[in-house]
Amino acid sequence: MAAVTQTVEQVAGLEKYKHGFVTDIEQDFAPKGLNADIVRFISAKKNEPEWMLAWRLDAFERWLAMDEPDWAKVNFPKIDYQDSYYYAAPKEKVGINSLDEVDPDILETYKKLGIPLREQEVLAGVIGSPRYAVDAVFDSVSVVTTFKKELAQVGVIFCSMSEAIREHPELVRKYLGTVVPVSDNYFACLNAAVFSDGSFVYVPPGVRCPMELSTYFRINAENSGQFERTLIIADKGAYVSYLEGCTAPMRDENQLHAAVVELITLDDAEIKYSTVQNWYPGDPETGKGGIYNFVTKRADCRGDRSKVSWTQVETGSAITWKYPSCVLRGEGSSGEFYSIAITNGRQQADTGTKMIHLGANTRSRIIAKGISAGRSSNTYRGLVSAHPKAKGARNFTQCDSLLIGKQCAAHTVPYIEARNGQAKFEHEATTTRLSEDQLFYVMQRGLSQEEAVQLLVNGFVKDVLQELPMEFAVEAQKLVAISLEGSVG
């Protein structure tokens, strides 16, 4: 009951989108538009080695020859790729060594967002409370990464992508682009050409990462796009849990966010990847503004008995186009996908997962909960496939959609491809509205309609919330409530 009270309080005291403020700081921009020179500019800004620039230019060439995909159930005006800044970074004060040298405005921003960047602040909490290391990405650059030293002691590398390219080129070259190839799809290809930062994690064999790692993405600059690239490698027998959060200011124009996330697990390794996506969703009445969230996330379970678990809470963005996937290559490897996608106002989401069973005895599980309210549209699109060698592959999929209101839409588009006689796939899906009986029952106990809806929705998504790390679960629960605000009545 405590969480519900908290949710209710939270909703009462909130504006519709609390992260919609802008931080006014001096920033470096690349010239507006996109061409080979911009790609060179970004690479030069990051002091990248020659091979990285060549990789980017090759991606750019390929991107020029590609067409924007149009198969998703989303509608938006054509994007003018020349009308955006591809690089925006807070003006750097030469050689930042400690957090004290970071622009106080940025620190203030993260404080306002509730992200602890000061290690002592994290420690100041109750003894024994969970700690987590943060990589803070502000527009195109990573401004700070915390707990690096402590992580280094156990051999875990956690740093920004630009730093990894400079400091650990052997690891980056070995793994970058091996899960999501450069020309995988239109947006991934664009990302490969212009990606500016992101997080890099390497967990050495047998190490269980001592704390949660997280990256917090913030788009701040106007007219800019964010293109980050995350690469996480869990070596043999390693384990890491990684969280990702994102917010952006409220603006009338649409901003593009095209990220790529690559996960690699070797034998017996496990990665747990959680996302709470809360980009600005645009104006709920007019649909103006908001982030276009076109993200490619894929995990390659290369090792035997390795495991990847995706958990996502998608509440923001004007448009979401995102399919975190698992390529289950290693024998006995397993993939999980737990998702809550909430759309309200004029939001459109087309999201789901792919579970590609290549190895024998691979297992996967998909639990997707979609909630549409207002005039939004919410699509689950997924693929489960078993190749001829994937003997004994098993999948269980459950996708449920909940509709709140007369003008919203919910779609389910699962693809199932079984190519051998020993695979076993089960899939079930339902689409309903909130049950009148349940609402009546809760309301006659004295809850208002809005509170009642929140309570029931929280029950509907419970299976997924349980999979989130604790500190995220509370936040996510609040987020669910806020996202649905104004959808009843």
Partner 1 sequence: MSLTSAIRDRDVAQLPSRRDEDWRWTDLRGLIRILPQPSPPFAGDPGAGVFDPLATQVVTLANGRGEAVIYVPAGETAWVALRILSQGDGAHAARVSITLADGARLHLFETYEGEGGYVAQTSLALTLGEGAGVERIVLAADSAGGVSISQAEVTLSPKSEFAQTVLTCGGRRQRIETRVAHPGGHASLRLDGVYLLADKAHADLTTVVTHAGVDGLTEQLTKGVVRDQARGVFQGRIVVREGADRTDAKMGHHALILSDRAEVDAKPELEIYADDVACAHGNTVGALDEDAMFYARQRGMPEADARALLTEAFVGQVIDRIDHNEARDLVRGWAAERLRP
- Dihedral (Cα; 180, 181, 186, 192), 10-degree rounding: 90
- Footprint of partner 1 on 67-106 (CB under 8 A): 71
- State the nearest-atom distance from the C-beta of 372 to partner 1, in Å: 9
- Is residue 423 close enough to count as binding partner 1 by CB under 8 A? yes
CB closer to partner 1, 227 vs 425: 425
Asked if 293 and 277 count as a contact pair (C-beta separation under 8 A), the reply is yes
Nearest to 341 by CA among 439, 230, 188, 484: 484
CB closer to partner 1, 327 vs 423: 423
CB closer to partner 1, 100 vs 437: 437
Token digits of residue 347: 């939001």
- Total number of residues that touch partner 1 (CB under 8 A): 35
Cα separation, 258 vs 277, whole angstroms = 13
- Is residue 358 close enough to count as binding partner 1 by CB under 8 A? no
- Binding test (CB under 8 A) with partner 1, winner from 68, 121, 285, 426: 426
- Binding test (CB under 8 A) with partner 1, winner from 5, 47, 129, 430: 430
- Is residue 418 close enough to count as binding partner 1 by CB under 8 A? yes
CB closer to partner 1, 32 vs 424: 424
Asked if 200 and 268 count as a contact pair (C-beta separation under 8 A), the reply is no
Binding map of partner 1 across residues 157-186, x = CB under 8 A, - = no contact? ------------------------------
Alpha-carbon distances, residue 446 vs 437, 449, 452 (angstroms): 15, 9, 9
At residue 283's C-alpha, the angle toward residues 281 and 284, to 5°, is 90
CB closer to partner 1, 290 vs 370: 370
| Residues ≥6 apart with Cβ < 8 Å to 170 | none
- State the nearest-atom distance from the C-beta of 343 to partner 1, in Å: 13
Tell me phi and psi for residue 39, to 5 degrees: -60, -45
DSSP 108-121: HHHHHTT---SHHH
DSSP 431-450: EEE--HHHHHHHHTTT--HH
- State the nearest-atom distance from the C-beta of 371 to partner 1, in Å: 11
- State the nearest-atom distance from the C-beta of 350 to partner 1, in Å: 12
- Is residue 425 close enough to count as binding partner 1 by CB under 8 A? yes
- Is residue 420 close enough to count as binding partner 1 by CB under 8 A? yes
- Is residue 433 close enough to count as binding partner 1 by CB under 8 A? yes
Token digits of residue 9: 């309080």
CB closer to partner 1, 300 vs 450: 450
- State the nearest-atom distance from the C-beta of 448 to partner 1, in Å: 20
Binding map of partner 1 across residues 388-417, x = CB under 8 A, - = no contact? x--x---------x-xxxxxxxxxxxxxxx
What single-letter DSSP state applies at residue 322? Answer: E
What per-residue string of b and e applies to 217-252 under the rule 16 or more CB within 10 Å gives b?
bbbbbeebbbbbbbbbbbbbbbbbbbbbbbbbbbbe
- Binding test (CB under 8 A) with partner 1, winner from 112, 419, 459, 462: 419
- State the nearest-atom distance from the C-beta of 431 to partner 1, in Å: 4
CB closer to partner 1, 167 vs 426: 426
Token digits of residue 1: 């009951």
- Is residue 428 close enough to count as binding partner 1 by CB under 8 A? yes
Alpha-carbon distances, residue 16 vs 13, 156, 327 (angstroms): 10, 39, 38
Cα separation, 304 vs 365, whole angstroms = 18
Q: Are strands 141-145 and 132-138 parallel, antiparallel or unpaired?
A: antiparallel
Candidates 102-110, 187-195, 332-340, 420-428: pick the segment binding partner 1 (CB under 8 A).
Answer: 420-428
CB closer to partner 1, 99 vs 416: 416
- Is residue 429 close enough to count as binding partner 1 by CB under 8 A? yes
- State the nearest-atom distance from the C-beta of 346 to partner 1, in Å: 15
Which residues would be at the binding site for partner 1 (CB under 8 A)? 71, 388, 391, 401, 403-433
